Structure 1
């Protein structure tokens, strides 16, 4: 136990006292330990009275670390480090705006472009022409292929809607689901085109389209996997 001067009334009081016996000042809130000799000292002491250790006006203690006057500007009133805008990576900003655009566009493309194509196929006579024996464009594989495409696209639509929900609610499952959809679309598009070539041998694969999609998808997946903002944002 050591005797110290109360920061308020300047009278001597025990460093172990919870409050000053003379004025009631909360002593323990103003007590720290010298990092050199561990003798109890006041927070505003410039040097340790026991060993003379230069405290450089130690005034704040956070997580048992001594913070000098020069570092005060980085500590808030609760003795926690102040987070700067550069340090705060949580939130949908930067490249996540672009990711969000893709997330929203995917289901819209399915709703307003892909699925209506199948609907018109059943209403303009195309379905009858490719699935009815005797027609020039008939092939027994067209029916199963189109049914499979419709089912897969409906499934993709629900999955994309789920990913939109996960994105805006910052769910931690979003990155895995989004990457899964990208990979599935890549494989599905390639396999579907191979199936069409099986039915129409004279059709060729548009390699450039698949390459562009592969490059773009790879960059997006790379960003999601390494981005600190993604890790800090999708945590719910």
Structure 2
């Protein structure tokens, strides 16, 4: 769950992106809770630009701060969740505060993770996002290969709302098999209207996984590796 300013004085631990990481990924556990983060910068900065701050109440509250959105192509992801995913995962959350001071990057709240599949010796990395709310105007994933909005693959209904579905090919750092020049795919479900903050919400992963796991998209559910909520 996200924190509000009321918890600002109760930080129990603060974690930062490791400067020694070649890919920008980091992961671990805090009080038995899995967390992970990623940051991408144009200038390969080694500063602590992404911070995850843990609060009291059995670590169910946390806050993510970032300072990397200086140009297009820079982003930060961080949050708590599970080290292994499941098609049947249901996640409850409550966002206390969501803000961005960037005119070019949005702040998103989403379910995020990777499907890492090895079949017949072939390694397949697939990244996924279920975007539930965001700060800013309409959000559509961007396809860097065509320099245009991502291709839409219809829609899916989940949690009583419609989500638009997208698929994008990427190349770069990925969490599955190491290396920073790997081709992979991104799968997106974006709610047509953002949810408000300050209320209990939930995300049911199954309808989205079922939609992606079709012949037109070919998501490999069997390779699910990481599931976390994120700030981007």
Q: Which has the higher contact order (CA 8 A, sep 6+)?
A: 2
Give the strand-richer structure, 1 or 2. 2
Question: TM-score under structure 2 normalisation?
Answer: 0.18
Question: TM-score under structure 1 normalisation?
Answer: 0.18
